[in-house]
Structure formats: structure tokens, C-alpha cells
Chain A
């Protein structure tokens, strides 16, 4: 199958590893956390405060705050904006993202 990476002839630097809840995932320089998760087949990384429903990307540009995720112990980061960095510990988050 053709991919967007083929279409744009992208040749990012070598892949690095991040973790999602401890599981190793491959990411490339230039990818946001959301892009790395999508590439790993993950489309949801948060559950909502009231009903515990899964959420992931919605607006893709930082407006809707649906894509909140915990990165290196900082909760409520927007996965569509935050670049993935080598060794990032990404964690799915429930509710407010704080332990309450």
C-alpha cells in the first residue's frame, strides 16, 4: 500500500523508541506523539472524566483538547502538537489526568 511517507518522499532520520504504558513503540524524528501512536495502530489514549469513553485525535490542530495524553509524567499534553522525543514515556490517561 502507498503511504503518505512515500507520497511526500520523506526520509526522516533513524527511528527511536518511545513507550506507551511501558510498551515499546517506534517513532521517527519529526513525528508528533499522535502521529507515532497512529502509526502504531493506536487511535485512542484517553478516557473521559464522566463516562470513561475513549478519545483520540479529533481536530488535529490543537483546538479541541480531545487528544490529551500524559508524556513523561506531565498530564494533559496535546498529542497532536507535542513532538515525540527519544525515550518519551507516554501514558494513557483517565479522567482529569491527575490521580484524583
Chain B
């Protein structure tokens, strides 16, 4: 066996792929671990191979970049430098005497364990969507905006012929145009942000002409598919019994409150809704990495404050695929240099760093523009389910705060069970924090995935069948 240093990259999205390819090209042995069946992550999610899509690029943007990444990965896998473990859900990364053990569960059932040992790790686990509750949001046919996109790109599936796309954030544009291109009638794109706020941020926009062009292309596509765009509007309720049949949308005033009398009903069988994204930080947190706001804190080399741990892409903060690519490339170069015993030379990735810094600035300027309506909580009636898993209502959460004096998320959770279900509070966390009026504290989940007890009990014992040594 070769004595090459070994890097474990977790996540095969743009960030993880860029890191893998960069590190492998610099002589490092890489194990790329991802829960999906194919590489690509969210942005480059591929249709399942057996669907035999001959034109997958029709669902995608920046296809040539994907081809380059895909082919580079395939080349490195062929040369034996990279091992790509698909269908591996990492639930814990342990650091012991400077080495790392990645614990994973196999396949969609997530019951069989697997273990990977490495000298260093790059966390590239991306992010997940934030969706704030409103009456009717648990009806079948209401899906997250990214979920609609994932079902479309990965399974070539849509849940009905007529959709409304709503919420806030740059993700709504590809979702609306993607559904429309796939034959879904998009009855409306409902965005709560105010376009005038973009204009006030012209400096950051002007510095990213590529992004302005992207926006213009989306606008043209919306026009071509005759998608009606309602800005400064919000969904106030989804209607239906066994499934969604319509939504009521309304205009927002300058303060972010629904303007009475502006409500209108739009029939639809699908509502794709999202209010932005949050970084996945579970693995980083159990490793003890410091966070910076909601994301993992990194230095100019994409290193976390834990030696041997790099982080790249949306796990460090939300900023889209191009930023994830730049960060991944830097992380891969920097990790490879350290593993090869050299001091990293930032000149070697100056171009990626320039692109990263510009994109970060751009997304920092966009962030306050794409905010959910300031008074979204007023739409959450007392009988609206807020925690979908444990079916905890808005009323129960308000009661825990007002009558029982809960002042932080943990106490609200203990009193109401909100956030104690299957999803471990990933879906309701931001809403519970908002309703309770307490800060959004990081999740502090012991594991990134629910782990069967048998696997937990055995996790301490080394096994001969470890996936990679």
C-alpha cells in the first residue's frame, strides 16, 4: 500500500468536488464521501442513472463546469487516487491523536455502518433550506423550493400541473424557471423582497457583472414562460383538505406587514416555498469547530480552528455554486500542501481567492435584501402546526413563552417537544426561535443523522470490514 497522505472529503457538491480534484491533482489520496447515489450535490444534482437521461443539461446551468468536474473526478477515480463512496451518510467525524475517523451509514435505509480513516478532512456538506410556517403549510403538495428542484433534477418528477413558487431568495428563480421549462404552469412567483432594495446596493452588484447577467437571463425566461412575478408579496395561507388546492397571497407594506384587503386566491396543486438557506454544521460542531454566525468559521485557506479540518462551500455560509467551487478549490490546495508537508502558498490559488472574496461580498450585500417579511410570525395562527414532526402548534409555543416563561430554544423544546422529532429541529428551528423571540442558536445535534442504537454501540470497536484504511 502507498504511504500517500489521505484526505476525507465529505460532500460531493461543487465545493467537495473542487476540493477532491485539487487535492488529488497534488498527489493526495482522497476518499470522497456523499449520501447521494451520484456526485453533484444540490446544484449539479443528476437524474438517477437508470432514468437514462440523454439531455440532463436541459435541467441545468453552467453545464460545462460540471463536465469538467465530472471528468476530472472520473480520471482521478480511474487512476486510483480518489475513492468515491456514494450512498454514505456521515453521522460523526472523530478526531483522535491528530487522525480522523468518519462514521457513516449506508444506503437509503441508513442502518449498515461504514468507517473511513484519514489524516485530514474537508467538510463540504452544503446547506439546507429554511421554510417559515403559515397556515396550511403541512398540506401535501406544499414542498420546499429546493425540494421541488431536487425532485425535478434527480427524479424527473413533479407533483402536479400547476405550481406557485413563493418565499424569498435567489433560489426561487431557478426553481420557477426549471418547473416552467419542465411543462409545469407556474401560476405565480411570489417574492417578499423589494426590488428597490437591490438598487440601493448597486455597488456590490456592479462589481459582479456575471451575476447581473444571470439575473437578466432569469427575468427573460420568466417572461418567456409567462410567469407572473409578484414582488413584495407573501403567501398567507395554503388551502385544501387532502392536498393543496389554492394559496392566498397578499401584498406587504414597507414594514413587512400584510396589507389588509390585498389578499387574492391563486388555484394550484403545488406550492414550492423557501425562505433562504442555512449551513449544515453538525459534523463541524461535534469536531469542535468554531462557528461564525450560522456557518463554520474559516481562515483565508478555508481552514477551521481545529487542526486538520478544512471547510468549504455553503457549510461556511450561503453563497451559491460558484462560491462553493472557489472555496473547495482553495481547501483542496491548502489541505494537499499541509499533507505533503509544505506551507500552503496562497499565490497558487490567487484567482480562486479573488473570485471567492468578490462573491462573498456580493452575497453579503444580497443577504439583507432577501429577508422574510419582518412580521411573518403574525401569519402563524395559534392552530398552525410549527414543528411538523411532533405537531406542535404556534399556540403551544407562545404559551410556553408567555405563560411558562421559556426564554431560550432549549426550554421551549423541553416544554413543547418542538424540535424533538425525526428531523431534530432542522425544519422548525428558525420558526420556533422567531415565534419565541429568542436567538437562533446552533442546533447542537450530537449526530448529523439519526443513528440506530446497534450502530452506536458498535461504533467504538474497530472492525476489519472498514471501508478504507
Determine the main DSSP class of A at the interface with B. loop
Cβ contacts under 8 Å, B181 to chain A: 7
**Contact of A59 with B147 at beta-carbon distance under 8 Å, contacts A1-B161, A9-B58, A64-B423 already known:** yes
Q: Which residues of B contact A22 (CB under 8 A)?
A: none
Instruction: Tell yes or no: B150 within 8 A of A by CB.
Output: yes
Residue interface bits A28-69, CB-to-B below 8 A is 1, else 0: 111110110011000110001111011111111111111010
B114-143, CB < 8 A from A: 128-129, 138-143
Residue from the set A5, A6, A7 with the largest chain B CB neighbour count within 10 Å: A7
- Complex contact A13–B140 (CB within 8 A): no
Do A28 and B51 have beta carbons less than 8 Å apart? yes
Hey, which chain B residues are within 8 Å of A78, CB to CB? 108
Q: In whole angstroms, how far apart are the Cα atoms of A45 and B371 in the complex?
A: 33
Report chain A residues within 8 Å CB of B150.
Answer: 60-61, 80
Please tell me which one of the listed residues A2, A11, A32, A56 contacts residue B54 in the complex, with CB atoms under 8 A apart: A11
Q: A77 near B151 (CB under 8 angstroms)?
A: no
Question: Does A38 lie within 8 Å of B48, measured CB to CB?
Answer: no
A8-B148 contact given A54-B243, A56-B140, CB 8 Å threshold: no
Q: Does B288 contact A (CB under 8 A)?
A: no
Is B468 at the interface (CB under 8 A from chain A)? Answer: no
**Which of A13, A35, A53, A68 meets B151, CB within 8 Å?**
A35
**Distance in angstroms between the alpha carbons of A6 and B422 in the assembled complex:** 36
Q: Is B242 interfacial (CB-CB < 8 Å)? A: yes
Interface core residue of B150, B160, B161 (most chain A CB under 10 Å): B150
Asked whether, in the complex, the Cβ of B148 is within 8 Å of the Cβ of A60, the reply is yes
Please tell me if the beta carbons of B426 and A31 are within 8 angstroms of each other in the complex: no
How many residue pairs at the A-B interface have CB separations less than 8 Å? 172
Query: What class of interface size applies to chain A in its complex with B?
Result: 35 or more
Report if A35-B155 is in contact (Cβ < 8 Å); known contacts: A50-B391, A59-B146. yes
Assess whether A35 is in contact with B138, with CB atoms less than 8 Å apart: no
Q: Closest approach, in angstroms, between the C-beta of B152 and any C-beta of chain A?
A: 6
Per the bound structure, the CA–CA distance linking A68 and B160 in Å amounts to 20
B142: A residues at CB distance < 8 A:
58
CB distance from B390 to the nearest CB of A (A): 8
What separation, in Å, do the CA atoms of A34 and B148 have in the docked complex?
12
Q: Which residues of A contact B53 (CB under 8 A)?
A: 8-10
How many Å from the CB of A57 to the closest CB on chain B?
Answer: 6
Are B47 and A10 interface neighbours, CB within 8 A? yes
Closest beta carbon of chain B to A71's beta carbon, Å:
10
Residue of B with least CB distance to A66: B388
* A38 and B157 in contact, given A11-B52, A57-B147, A78-B108 (Cβ under 8 angstroms): yes
A21 to B49, CA, bound (A): 28
A63-B157 in contact (CB<8A)? no
- On whether the beta carbons of A57 and B182 are closer than 8 Å, the reply is no
Closest to B129 in A: A59
Ordered by A's residue number, 5 sampled pairs between the chains whose C-beta atoms are within 8 Å are A10-B51, A10-B54, A39-B157, A59-B128, A74-B109
Residue numbers of B with Cβ under 8 A of A are 35, 42, 47-56, 58-59, 108-109, 128-129, 138-144, 146-152, 154-161, 181-183, 242-243, 385, 388-391, 421-423, 426-427
